[in-house]
Amino acid sequence: MIYKLKSIGIAILIICSLQAKGQNVVWTDIDNFWTAYDKIIQTKDSVTQYKLLEDLYLSKATEGLIAMRQVRNYTAKDYLDAINNYPNFWNSIRRNTLRASEFAKDFNSGIDQLRLLYPALKPAKIYFTIGAMRSNGTTLDNLVLIGAEMAMTDKNTISDELSPDFLRIGRRKYFDSNPINTLVLLNIHEYVHTQQKPWVDNLLSYVIREGVAEFVSVKAMNVPSAAPAIEFGKNNPVKVRAKFEQEMFYINNQSNWLWSDAPNEFGVRDLGYYIGYQMCENFYNQAENKSLAIKKMIELDYTNETDVEDFVEKSKFFSKPLNELYQDFEKKRPTVVGIKQFQNKSKNVNPNIKEITVQFSEPLNGYNTGVDFGELGQNAFPKNDVKKRFWSNENKSWTITVDLEPNKKYQLLITNNFRTRNGMPLKPYLIDFQTSK
């Protein structure tokens, strides 16, 4: 009798444990989407469509869907545009997305494997959502967010309706790689992100953080990476590394390396994943204590430059130390060589001057510009008409029209948002002068 009671108790504990684990994965947004979808496609009235979307899907959103919309800035219009424009696409992925519940067990098994690799693993929740085709997976705080409309595609996904821009770099190839077959790996990758410290706003930080998540998830699952970028990088390591070393310190070029279909010379998106992955693989392979190496990678503090530089140095990935690569970058940057109307730092500038023309050391791209306040703030920034700013014909100078006052100190910061045609940012330059009485 006692034995039977113990057996019943154990069985109850097992059931409770399984139920608790199942709660790690939530898929109700999938069912709600298709309920809304079936109603929306029955009418062409846009007002009715908006109401159906709100009532049947958005208003019933889980914490995960709310987070996915926040992270990817999905609007109701984004959803309706996708639903109305791509009916064949949606019909081709429907069956796959409705398999979400089947993956709960596999996800929990993957989390258990990750915990073996990293015992300090903190709990997180995985949400299946349907978005508007801008993400297959991401995170927010301790939430793993699956964009099922992308992550659960396969070679049978119909893409004929999709725009050329959407398909330009690898989207069709991505569908043909059967992402649904590597869905667990993708989301263990995202689960790792919930354990990491936030990045700082530079490309090196981005690629290391993504590389850590990819490398650790691959180690935990004991399978190869499914990212085409990593395969391409390993087959072309010298060319990819050289290009990254050249662009590592650029600003506003994240789209060339991560999270974008922006064109690049290799024709492969997200090559930053390879950069970070290879750094992690090198770091791990040279480490005597592998468990400690995993811990250090996951817990890397991106705000601590010393820690990041130590990681980079120990990875032995780059051809030169970081400081030498930075010096090479600084030597190549375009500069401001002068101001046409007066000498910078002059204290006797004619207040009747109506233009300030900045001259550059080489032609820039004629498009990107950037001006900001100096240390003296807004009061020292000259009055100007934003509609009257223009480039010279050869893009070697740029003019801003101004309205100056007598006997006043002015500052105008020319920022590094100015750049060459290949994206090399300008060295910032502070215009500092005072007008005469």
Q: Are residues 235 and 327 in the same domain?
A: yes
Helices (H), 128-197: 148-151, 164-167, 171-176, 183-193
- Residue finishing a domain among 265, 297, 332: 332
End-to-end CA distance of the chain: 104
Q: Are residues 135 and 221 in the same domain?
A: no
Q: Return the ∠ at Cα 23 (arms to 19 and 27), rounded to 5°.
A: 125
pLDDT at residue 437, rounded to an integer: 87
Q: Are residues 302 and 421 in the same domain?
A: no
Q: Are residues 346 and 295 in the same domain?
A: no
- Residue finishing a domain among 312, 332, 352: 332
Q: Are residues 322 and 358 in the same domain?
A: no
Q: What is the pTM of this model?
A: 0.80
Domain-located, residue 182: no
Domain-located, residue 74: yes
- Residue finishing a domain among 280, 304, 332: 332
DSSP 233-264: HHHSHHHHHHHHHHHTT-SS-GGGTSS-----
Q: Are residues 307 and 391 in the same domain?
A: no
pLDDT at residue 23, rounded to an integer: 56
Q: Which two tokens stand for residue 112?
A: 């258990």
CB-based contact 296:311 (threshold 8 Å):
yes
pLDDT at residue 167, rounded to an integer: 64
Based on C-alpha coordinates, what's the Rg of the chain?
27
pLDDT at residue 111, rounded to an integer: 93
Domain-located, residue 366: yes
Lateral strand order in the sheet of 397-403: 336-339, 355-360, 397-403, 383-391
Structural domain boundaries enclosing 409: 336-434
**How far is the C-alpha of 50 from the C-alpha of 73, rounded, in Å?**
17
pLDDT at residue 304, rounded to an integer: 95
Domain-located, residue 87: yes
**How far is the C-alpha of 144 from the C-alpha of 142, rounded, in Å?**
7
Burial 349-384 (b: 16+ CB within 10 A, else e): bebebeebebebeeebeeebbbbeebeeeeebbbeb
Domain-located, residue 183: no
User: Mean pLDDT for each consecutive 10-residue tract of the chain (437 residues)?
Assistant: 39 37 79 98 97 98 97 97 97 96 90 96 94 91 94 95 72 87 92 93 95 97 92 96 94 84 84 97 97 97 95 96 95 97 96 97 96 96 92 96 96 96 95 95
Q: Are residues 121 and 50 in the same domain?
A: yes
Q: Are residues 202 and 311 in the same domain?
A: yes
pLDDT at residue 362, rounded to an integer: 97
Please tell me what DSSP assigns to residue 60. G
**How far is the C-alpha of 399 from the C-alpha of 390, rounded, in Å?**
5
Q: Are residues 222 and 159 in the same domain?
A: no
- Please list, in sequence order, all residues whose beta carbon lies within 8 angstroms of the beta carbon of residue 333, skipping any fewer than 6 positions away: 424, 425, 426, 427
Q: Are residues 324 and 424 in the same domain?
A: no
Give the three-state DSSP class for 111. Answer: helix
CATH code for the domain of 398: 2.60.40.1220
pLDDT at residue 386, rounded to an integer: 86
CB-based contact 302:199 (threshold 8 Å):
yes
Q: Are residues 229 and 345 in the same domain?
A: no
